[in-house]
């Protein structure tokens, strides 16, 4: 579906923002420069009559994003947790996107369940409610199982959502392509790769079998985390477009008045949200990547309950160590080490000056130490960081996109619960513990042990490999003499490898 015809989608986007009155709100919230305002008005105003009308009862931006479709709604959900970036007025408008979208009918949901599970819903459920929450991609019903009486949550995808979502993402591809052509300085951000990554992650939300699997894995990983809970899945009542979980009773994380009335400590909850996210990302390499307030509940006992596992992030062990070392360096204000880690990981081109990069990092981070969240403008901070990374030629790391985006969202959630939170003080014990366990002599010994185990699997083949090396060593070579290995050296290496692996194999 990609191609020039998506220009129509871009025109419709600008026209919808104009028609709903959202254009001015958005441009003001982002403090858009004059050239961008002119371009946006040029795209939107002449075609205003082509824009979607939306629901006049909604605030302008919410009205526009809801009318434009799922991908736009997802974007709005992320921004809703960052009043410091988009301003309190716009953030307030966007919060309604989290769980209050117009639902589809109960009968349509039951028809989807019948088609997906191949069973009459009346046989499965003794009770099945009207929709209790409707999001951009799916909605949730409360039900009671006929055989056990257990209360469950049943998630059902919106009819036709797959096609609607593809249309939105196609428009994003066109935007990324235009950015690559018209703004060469932005190519280092790999806009096409970014959209590819976004597309792959969000398409996983459109197969609830994958979400069911993610939920089960996440529950297993976090089973021993104090003050955190993940609902258990019902595998046999889940399919591609239907997912069934145990019912989780709790207070919505954005309902601060009820949280206060329940006598819960919001400051402690805010700290715990941030700590748990870092633990999951660093310890497990598997984290909830859509942790806005609409996907979190607070149990009456103070437990944080996670919901909606359509977008999960995964980091390999090397990336987790790099990320931890960078965070730890910031916490210790060791900007030279932070800079070195960026160079060692290949995040910054090797021809740049490490000391200059360290100085630039210090200029960004040093001013915010000791401040609470109310004194920090993350919008200005992120803009400055972008300027620094551009100056030093850093390219976008697609494997870190979800982590970076989720960190912004989680900090927004923690900030809403505890406005005085200091992210560095909260992160320090989690990152320090990870560093202690995974960077240093203990980690080196563990890595060598794993390497030895892998080598030991080749033990039976080593004699043959050594013999082949000897044969190749004494055969005539057409390559230059300096490129050949001496036969005695080859034999010695082969024998040495056999001794080492034999010893290792005996140890295991």
DSSP 400-431: GHHHHHHHHHHHHHHHHH-TT--HHHHHHHHH
- Of 3-17, 58-72, 93-107, 444-458, which one has max mean pLDDT? 58-72
Would you give the distance in Å from CA 5 to the centre of its chain? 30
For the chain, the distance separating the N- and C-terminal CA atoms, rounded to the nearest angstrom, is: 55
pLDDT band at 194 (very low <50, low <70, confident <90, very high): low
- The encoded tokens of residue 149 equal 């009486």
Which of 36, 388, 58, 3 minimizes the C-alpha distance to 16? 58
- The encoded tokens of residue 156 equal 């059902």
The answer for residues whose C-beta is within 8 angstroms of residue 491's C-beta and 6 or more apart is: 466, 469, 470, 473
pLDDT for 447 equals 67
Q: What percent of the chain has pLDDT over 90?
A: 30
Name the one residue in this structure whose structure tokens are 């619960």. Answer: 417
Average pLDDT over residues 109-131: 95
User: Global pTM?
Assistant: 0.72
Ranking 17-21, 121-125, 153-157, 392-396 by mean pLDDT, the lowest is 392-396
Render pLDDT for 196-217 as a digit per residue (tens, 0 to 9): 776 777 777 889 999 999 999 9
What is the sign of the dihedral through the CA atoms of 430, 431, 433 and 437? positive
- The encoded tokens of residue 480 equal 């230059």
Contact yes or no for 283/233 (Cβ under 8 A): no
Render pLDDT for 400-449 as a digit per residue (tens, 0 to 9): 666 777 887 888 889 889 988 877 788 888 888 888 888 766 666 766 77
| Res. 294: pLDDT tops 70 | yes
Contact yes or no for 244/237 (Cβ under 8 A): yes
pLDDT for 309 equals 92
- Better-predicted residue by pLDDT, 2 or 440: 440
Contact yes or no for 165/138 (Cβ under 8 A): no
- Of 45-54, 285-294, 396-405, 435-444, which one has max mean pLDDT? 285-294
pLDDT for 417 equals 93
Task: Give the HSE-up count for residue 499: Cα atoms under 13 Å, Cβ half-sphere.
Answer: 6
- Look at the chain and count its residues: 508
Which of 94, 95, 103, 79 minimizes the C-alpha distance to 161? 103
Q: Which residues are catalytic?
A: 290
pLDDT for 371 equals 63
Render pLDDT for 231-250 as a digit per residue (tens, 0 to 9): 999 999 999 999 999 999 99
The answer for residues whose C-beta is within 8 angstroms of residue 375's C-beta and 6 or more apart is: none
pLDDT for 143 equals 97
Contact yes or no for 306/277 (Cβ under 8 A): no
Average pLDDT, the chain: 79
pLDDT for 293 equals 86
* Spatial separation of the C-alpha atoms in residues 83 and 90, rounded to whole Å: 7
* Spatial separation of the C-alpha atoms in residues 139 and 129, rounded to whole Å: 12
* Spatial separation of the C-alpha atoms in residues 363 and 348, rounded to whole Å: 18
Ranking 14-28, 147-161, 376-390, 486-500 by mean pLDDT, the lowest is 486-500
Q: What is the largest CA-CA distance in the chain?
A: 86
Contact yes or no for 246/150 (Cβ under 8 A): yes
Render pLDDT for 354-406 as a digit per residue (tens, 0 to 9): 999 999 888 877 776 666 556 665 545 555 666 677 678 776 665 666 677 78
- Better-predicted residue by pLDDT, 95 or 14: 14
- The encoded tokens of residue 160 equal 């036709």
Bridge-based pairing state of the strands 228-229 and 242-246: unpaired
Question: Which helix (H) or strand (E) segment is 185 a member of?
Answer: none
pLDDT for 248 equals 93
Bridge-based pairing state of the strands 304-306 and 228-229: parallel
* Spatial separation of the C-alpha atoms in residues 215 and 114, rounded to whole Å: 23
């Amino acid at each position: 579906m990609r191609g020039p015809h998506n220009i129509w989608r871009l025109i419709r986007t600008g026209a919808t923002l104009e028609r709903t009155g959202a254009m001015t709100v958005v441009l003001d919230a982002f403090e858009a420069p004059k050239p961008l305002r002119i371009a946006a008005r040029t795209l939107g105003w002449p075609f205003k009559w082509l824009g979607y009308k939306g629901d006049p009862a909604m605030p302008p931006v919410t009205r526009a994003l809801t009318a434009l479709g799922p991908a736009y709604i997802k974007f709005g959900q992320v921004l809703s947790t960052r009043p410091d970036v988009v301003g309190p007025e716009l953030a307030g408008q966007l919060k309604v996107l989290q769980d209050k979208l117009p639902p589809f009918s109960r009968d349509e949901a039951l028809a989807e369940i019948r088609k997906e599970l191949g069973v009459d819903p009346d046989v499965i459920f003794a009770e099945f409610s009207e929709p209790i929450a409707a999001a951009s991609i799916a909605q949730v019903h409360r039900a009671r199982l006929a055989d056990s009486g257990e209360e469950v949550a049943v998630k059902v995808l919106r009819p036709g959502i797959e096609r609607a979502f593809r249309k939105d993402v196609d428009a994003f591809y066109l935007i990324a392509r235009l950015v690559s052509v018209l703004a060469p300085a932005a190519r280092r951000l790999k806009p096409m790769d970014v959209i590819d990554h976004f597309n792959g992650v969000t398409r996983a939300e459109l197969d609830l079998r994958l979400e069911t699997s993610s939920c089960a894995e996440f529950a297993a990983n976090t089973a021993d985390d104090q003050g955190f809970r993940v609902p258990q899945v019902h595998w046999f009542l889940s399919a591609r477009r239907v997912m069934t979980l145990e019912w989780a009773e709790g207070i919505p994380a954005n309902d601060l008045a009820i949280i206060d009335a329940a006598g819960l400590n919001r400051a402690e909850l805010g700290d715990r949200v941030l700590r748990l996210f870092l633990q999951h990302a660093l310890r497990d390499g598997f984290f909830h990547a859509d942790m806005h307030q609409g996907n979190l509940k607070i149990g009456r006992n103070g437990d944080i309950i996670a919901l909606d596992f359509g977008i999960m992030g995964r980091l390999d062990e090397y990336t987790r160590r790099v990320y931890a070392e960078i965070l730890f360096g910031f916490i210790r204000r060791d900007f030279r080490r932070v800079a070195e880690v960026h160079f060692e990981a290949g995040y910054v081109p090797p021809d740049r000056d490490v000391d200059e990069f360290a100085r630039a990092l210090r200029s960004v981070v040093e001013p915010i130490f000791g401040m609470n969240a109310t004194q920090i403008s993350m919008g200005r901070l992120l803009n400055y960081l972008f300027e620094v990374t551009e100056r030093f030629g850093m390219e976008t790391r697609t494997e870190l996109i979800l982590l970076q985006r989720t960190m912004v969202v989680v900090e927004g959630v923690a900030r809403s619960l505890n406005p005085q939170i200091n992210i560095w003080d909260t992160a320090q014990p989690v990152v320090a513990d990870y560093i202690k366990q995974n960077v240093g002599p203990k980690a080196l010994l563990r890595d060598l042990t794993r390497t030895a185990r892998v080598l030991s699997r080749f033990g039976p083949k080593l004699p043959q490999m050594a013999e082949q090396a000897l044969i190749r060593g004494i055969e005539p070579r057409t390559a230059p003499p300096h490129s050949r290995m001496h036969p005695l050296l080859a034999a010695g290496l082969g024998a040495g490898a056999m001794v080492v692996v034999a010893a290792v194999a005996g140890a295991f």
